[in-house]
Amino acid sequence: MQRIQLRTVAGTLFVVAGLLAASAVTGPAAAASRPSPAELGRKAEIITEQYNAKRLALARAQRAKKAAERQLRRANEQYEQLRQSVGAMAAANYMRPGSESEISLFADDDPQVALDQSSASRYLAAQRTNQLRQFVIARMAAHRTAAEARDRAAEIAELTADLAKKKKAIEKLIQQIPQAAPGAGGGAVSLPNTGKASTVVNAALSRVGMPYVFGADGPSSFDCSGLMLWAYQKVGINLPHYTGAQYNMGTRVSRAQLRPGDIVFFYPDIGHNGMYIGGDKMVHAPRSGKNVEVVNMAGYYWSNFTGAVRLL
């Protein structure tokens, strides 16, 4: 009986030891497999800029659809006018006597009259042919513009669905990221340069402490390209809300040429940007879970630097 109890205790200890060993192995491994807030934020930022690109595409598609619809209305009006004109011409032609046929050249007592009638007949025939041609062209134009409007409507539906998916994916990632509390504004600073560059830098710095929110462009929350958009509006420059589009504006400058107010871009996908403020520093909206901040670009950011543009 005592031996059985000892075996039971030994077995229990063996199982407990196994569980402890397993937890010692799987605990750190499980922790290591979970993405860090920075990794989650980077993933969310990539999708955010894709989301911003789709929003621009949606706006373009909506404008194109409105233009196609206006053109379609004009084409239909022209088609209807020509349709009525061609109908009236067909009715009039049906009522005309057969004397307009060129056979009257041989049947009429006055050949000159017959010749005049024949010339008039050919002229009218040419006019009718031209009118019919215009009618066919108008009809084809109406069909083309109707197809264009339908294509744009289908594109809008597809973009809207894609935006909803991306929004859902971003929100899912954001839920896993600890959120920083909004901080105080950074306040304006004096720069050695004056003019528009100083204005945009001070505008961006005044938003320090405001939270990063995907798709936001101020005044109290921002994503990275939204902060650039908001700051540059202060000098009358309207930027698209998308890092990829902002990268293709202005004049491209190298790292050695950077001046305060230049927009700096990072990563191969141009998925993040900020505003250079001098002294190897920038102000930017970093990622979900963080606030607008000033950072030193030495190390991480310079190692991921892609390029810069100057708009002033």
Single out the catalytic residue among 40, 224, 282, 311.
224
Q: Structural domain of residue 168, as residue ranges?
A: 37-174
Alpha-carbon distance 5 to 2, whole Å? 5
For residue range 108-164, list pLDDT tens digits in order.
444 455 445 555 555 555 666 676 676 677 777 777 888 888 898 999 999 999 999
Averaged over 55-84, what is the pLDDT? 82
Single out the catalytic residue among 54, 241, 284, 290.
284
307: helix, coil or strand?
strand
Do 120 and 204 lie in one domain? The reply is no
Q: 241 catalytic, yes or no?
A: no
188 within some domain? no
CATH of the domain at 205: 3.90.1720.10
262: helix, coil or strand?
coil
Averaged over 277-285, what is the pLDDT? 94
Which pair of structure tokens corresponds to residue 131? 């009118």
Phi and psi for 36 in degrees, rounded to 5?
A: -75, 160
Do 166 and 203 lie in one domain? The reply is no
Q: Is 178 exposed, middle or buried (0-12, 13-18, 19+ CB in 10 A)?
A: exposed
How many other C-beta atoms can be found within 10 angstroms of the C-beta atom of residue 210? 24
Alpha-carbon distance 87 to 44, whole Å? 62
Do 285 and 219 lie in one domain? The reply is yes
Q: 224 catalytic, yes or no?
A: yes
Single out the catalytic residue among 42, 152, 207, 272.
272
Q: Which residue has the tokens 């940007």?
A: 273
Q: Which residue has the tokens 């930027």?
A: 239
pLDDT above 70 coverage of the chain, percent: 67
The gap from C-alpha 262 to its chain's centroid, in whole angstroms, comes to 23
Q: 143 catalytic, yes or no?
A: no
Boundary (domain end) residue, out of 116, 144, 174: 174
For residue range 79-98, list pLDDT tens digits in order.
677 677 666 655 555 555 54
